[in-house]
Every structure is written in structure tokens, then in C-alpha cells.
């Protein structure tokens, strides 16, 4: 989903959530908050914590849920020798977004995830500015998820489209 104007875009938050996966007290019935009820306990969704590569890429989280993860990444510092956006940086950005979205979903099932396939099509280059990436589910299953990731520039032009498939696995 893209907006008609760059000013309509969500802006990054300055908060960095923790990566705590916890459960709360026993509950009965359906939760109004959308929390997953597992064996009579509410499983809290995982929240994104940036890894070392994410920090080096300059990624900032804007929005996070099992239905949508939005983040930004600057072109500056993520260029190749000719001063253009590096395709590997864009791929790493897209992979992070799709994996985070999958992991939020997996956490509500008491699972984690591992990427099994990533593909990316680069539509146009960029030499400056801030990119916005949005991951949305194509399929959210109990054992496999697939997500589409769209990366756009400040003028809402599509820079790339990616798809990632993650396998959901039991925590160890």
C-alpha cells in the first residue's frame, strides 16, 4: 500500500522495543487485543530488536505487527562503488522486514522462524534519500509463511519488490 504523497508516510519511532517473548496469566475466552491464546495462556507477540547489520544499514522501525512491518533505511552509507544504492543492502533490508513480520506471527504460535527462500527484483536505482520498506503477508500458516516486501523512495516510486518464505519451527 503506497500513499499519494511522501508527507503521508509514517515516520520512524525513536523507541527501540525489547525482544522479550513472555506469557501473561491464565485467561478464558477470546482476547479483544488479538493476542494468541495457547494452552490457556496468552502468548505475547515478539517485538523487533535491531541486529548489528540492521544498525549498520541505518534501519528504523516505523510500525510492527504480524500483518505489517514498516521501516526506513537511508541510501547514504548503503551505496556501491558508483554511488548508487547497493542491491545487497536493499536485499538485506527486505529480508529483515519479511523475517520480522514472520517472526511476530510465529511468536504467537510459540515458534520461531528460519528463512528458506528470498527473491528480489530491483526496479530502479537510488542515489540519495530515505527508502521505506513495507512487508505484508501473502500466507500465514502454522509451518510456512510468505511475505511480499515493497521498497519505495521518497517519491513513492517502487525501488524493488521482494518475496521471502520462512519456515516456522519449534523453539529450542
Catalytic residue positions, numbered: 95
Torsion angle of the four alpha carbons 112, 161, 6, 77, in this order, in degrees rounded to the nearest 10: 80
Q: Which residue has the cell 504467537?
A: 108
Over 68-92, what HEC string results? CEEEEEECCCCECCCCCECHHHHHH
The C-alpha atoms of residue 162 and residue 88 are separated, in whole angstroms, by: 12
Q: Evaluate whether 76 touches 131 at the Cβ level (below 8 Å).
A: no
Name residue, grid cell 500458516. 141
Which of 140, 122, 119 is closest to 131 using CA atoms? 122
Q: Residue for cell digits 540519495?
A: 128
Query: Distance from CA of residue 85 to its chain's centroid?
Result: 20
Amino acid at each position: 500500500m503506497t500513499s499519494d504523497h511522501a508527507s503521508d508516510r509514517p515516520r520512524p519511532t525513536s523507541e527501540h522495543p525489547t525482544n522479550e517473548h513472555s506469557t501473561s496469566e491464565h485467561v478464558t475466552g477470546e482476547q479483544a487485543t488479538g493476542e494468541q491464546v495457547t494452552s490457556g495462556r496468552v502468548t505475547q507477540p515478539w517485538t523487533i530488536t535491531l541486529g548489528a547489520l540492521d544498525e549498520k544499514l541505518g534501519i528504523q522501525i516505523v510500525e510492527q505487527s504480524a500483518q505489517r512491518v514498516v521501516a526506513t533505511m537511508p541510501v547514504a552509507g548503503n551505496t556501491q562503488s558508483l554511488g548508487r544504492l547497493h542491491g545487497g543492502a536493499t536485499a538485506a533490508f527486505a529480508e529483515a522486514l519479511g523475517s520480522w513480520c514472520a517472526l511476530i506471527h510465529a511468536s504467537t504460535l510459540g515458534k520461531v522462524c528460519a528463512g528458506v527462500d528470498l527473491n528480489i527484483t530491483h526496479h530502479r536505482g537510488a542515489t540519495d534519500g530515505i527508502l521505506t520498506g513495507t512487508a505484508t503477508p501473502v500466507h500465514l500458516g502454522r509451518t510456512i509463511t510468505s511475505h511480499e516486501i515493497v521498497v519505495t523512495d521518497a517519491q513513492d516510486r517502487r525501488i524493488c519488490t521482494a518475496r521471502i518464505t520462512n519456515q516456522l519451527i519449534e523453539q529450542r
